[in-house]
């Protein structure tokens, strides 16, 4: 009798969770087909490093400038990443700004500053690139491609479809390392008629998948509007003279200035990149303004309103100048090159997806990301841990095949 080929797995989302999943699967001995599908230009998600084709020396760690490991439970893959030089320990100057304008050097309440702090060596993107290198190749990596829809073939394989409904790939197992295809926000954000995975789930009759989709639908996320600055010359030196590299605003300061965080990132050529994150309230008020150079603009094939974009940039610039007035002249802000980007679901809010629902064996669907309940929820640590845990669960499921009938009749969202 011929031996059946190894199972195939398609992972949608090449952020931290998806890349950690791929690394853990390969290190755990999975030798089947493994593919990553990402609408962005490369791996990383919120740990991606934004670069410029026209300006090779420019980079922004525009989502997470670092990651922390706060839980005492050992994190698989971390020692491998450190040994490979993909990440390194980091202790930047950190501070907390109060509503009264006072600066505190200690910020014990900051969930992103607890435990051990790390960053990608040479840019946060190296975290995900390092994870993929741990997988030692053998991963089909597809960037700049949006999976628009999902279907199940007559043979019970998951199908990934593009905007035109053409099949991009087929796989035995589907993993969502991003919630877009499973969360109702896709209808608001992308203007879709239905939630892709929910449309398919109607034909699968899998109670676990139905429960997972219901749990995902209840998860709310906060958005962030980010102001990106590039300063040079005297302005760059003024930014470097600030008594912090990472600044958090306490709730009162956040309400006063409508900012939540700020990161000062020196560049190799003497310039300084600055990323200012808005408050959740500010982002919610400007949710439809996402920046003309953001990936969502190309995904939606739309040209955002440049007038509205300019207004948001000015508002955030005024906020930064006012909050940092004790340390910076206005020219260091308004004289810098400025642009806008928006994270539509930057911070997931509890309750997240119960870990018990992260693997639906009957329908062969898995979920991983910082939105899964567990240690590190809402942070890079949570994304890493959920990717590892789902990989272990998948390896166990593949070692003990489900005796059930598998996927039923073909289905498609819509």
398-410: pLDDT as tens digits: 998 654 445 643 3
Q: What is the mean pLDDT of residues 326-347?
A: 94
| pLDDT tops 50 at residue 2 | no
Residue 290 pLDDT grade (very low, low, confident, very high; cuts 50, 70, 90): confident
Average pLDDT, the chain: 92
CATH 3.90.660 in the chain: give the residue spans: 93-114+221-348
Predicted confidence at residue 405, as pLDDT, reads 41
Residue 142 pLDDT grade (very low, low, confident, very high; cuts 50, 70, 90): very high
333: nearest Cα among 414, 392, 257, 221? 257
d(CA 201, CA 195): 10
Which tokens belong to 319?
């906020």
d(CA 40, CA 72): 33
CATH superfamily, with its number, for domain 9-48+125-219+349-406: FAD/NAD(P)-binding domain (3.50.50.60)
Predicted confidence at residue 189, as pLDDT, reads 74
| pLDDT tops 60 at residue 216 | yes
Q: Specify whether domain 93-114+221-348 bears CATH 3.90.660.
A: yes
> Helices 125-134 and 16-27, interaxial angle, to 10°?
20
Predicted confidence at residue 414, as pLDDT, reads 44
* Straight-line distance from the first to the last Cα atom of the chain, in angstroms, rounded to the nearest whole number: 40
d(CA 196, CA 182): 6
Predicted confidence at residue 382, as pLDDT, reads 98
Its pTM stands at 0.94
| pLDDT tops 60 at residue 344 | yes
Is residue 278 within 8 A of residue 224, CB to CB? The reply is yes
What Rg, from alpha-carbon coordinates, does the chain have? 22
Q: Following CA atoms 66, 93, 280, 120 in sequence, which dihedral angle do they give, to the nearest 10 degrees? A: -10
Is residue 352 within 8 A of residue 367, CB to CB? The reply is no
| Order of strands, sheet of 259-266, starting from the edge strand that comes earlier in the sequence | 103-104, 94-97, 246-249, 259-266, 272-278, 221-231, 337-348
Predicted confidence at residue 294, as pLDDT, reads 62
Residue 302, CA atoms < 13 Å, CB-side half-sphere: 13
Residue 92 pLDDT grade (very low, low, confident, very high; cuts 50, 70, 90): very high
Predicted confidence at residue 6, as pLDDT, reads 82
The 8-class DSSP code of residue 353 comes to B
Which residues contact residue 2 at a Cβ distance below 8 angstroms, ignoring those fewer than 6 apart? none
d(CA 198, CA 193): 11
The 8-class DSSP code of residue 327 comes to T
d(CA 219, CA 372): 10
CATH 3.50.50.60 in the chain: give the residue spans: 9-48+125-219+349-406
DSSP symbols for 147-214: --EEEE-TTS-EEEE-TTS-EEEEESEEEESSSTTTSTHHHHHH--SS-HHHHHHTTT--HHHHHHHH
| pLDDT tops 60 at residue 309 | yes
pLDDT tens digits, 226-265: 999 999 999 999 999 999 999 999 999 999 999 999 999 9
| pLDDT tops 60 at residue 1 | no
């Amino acid at each position: 009798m011929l031996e059946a080929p190894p199972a195939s797995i398609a992972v949608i989302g090449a952020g931290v969770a998806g890349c950690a999943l791929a690394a853990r699967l390969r290190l755990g001995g999975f030798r089947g087909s493994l593919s990553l599908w990402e609408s962005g230009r490369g791996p990383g998600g919120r740990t991606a490093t934004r670069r410029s084709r026209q300006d090779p020396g420019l980079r922004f760690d525009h989502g997470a400038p670092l990651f922390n490991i706060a839980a005492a439970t050992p994190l698989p893959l971390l020692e491998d990443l450190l040994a490979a030089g993909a990440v390194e320990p980091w202790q930047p100057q950190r501070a907390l700004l109060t509503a009264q304008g006072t600066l505190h050097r200690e910020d014990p309440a900051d969930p992103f500053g607890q435990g051990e702090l790390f960053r990608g060596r040479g840019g946060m993107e190296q975290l995900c690139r390092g994870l993929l290198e741990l997988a030692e190749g053998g991963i089909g990596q597809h960037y700049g491609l949006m999976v628009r829809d999902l279907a199940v073939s007559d043979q019970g394989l998951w199908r990934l479809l593009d905007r035109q409904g053409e099949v991009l790939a087929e796989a035995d197992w589907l993993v969502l390392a991003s919630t877009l295809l499973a969360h109702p926000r896709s209808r608001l954000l992308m203007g879709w008629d239905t939630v892709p995975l929910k449309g398919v789930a109607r034909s699968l009759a899998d109670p676990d998948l139905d429960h997972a989709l219901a749990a995902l639908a209840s998860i709310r996320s906060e958005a962030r509007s980010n102001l990106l600055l590039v300063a040079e010359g005297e302005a760059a030196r003024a930014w470097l003279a600030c008594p912090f590299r990472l600044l958090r605003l306490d709730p009162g300061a956040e309400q006063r200035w409508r900012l939540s965080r700020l990161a000062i990132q020196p560049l190799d050529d003497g310039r300084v990149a600055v990323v200012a994150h808005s408050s959740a309230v500010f982002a919610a008020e400007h949710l439809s303004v996402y920046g003309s150079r953001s990936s969502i603009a190309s995904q939606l094939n739309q040209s955002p309103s440049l007038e509205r974009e300019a207004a948001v940039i000015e508002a955030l610039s005024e906020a930064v100048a006012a909050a940092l007035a004790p340390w910076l002249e206005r020219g260091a802000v308004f004289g810098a090159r400025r642009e806008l980007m928006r994270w539509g679901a930057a911070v997931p809010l509890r309750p997240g997806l119960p870990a018990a629902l992260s693997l639906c064996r009957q329908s062969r669907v898995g979920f991983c990301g910082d939105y899964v309940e567990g240690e590190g929820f809402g942070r890079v640590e949570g994304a890493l841990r959920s990717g590892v845990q789902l990989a272990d669960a998948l390896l166990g499921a593949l070692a003990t095949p489900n005796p059930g009938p598998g996927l039923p009749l073909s289905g498609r969202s819509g």
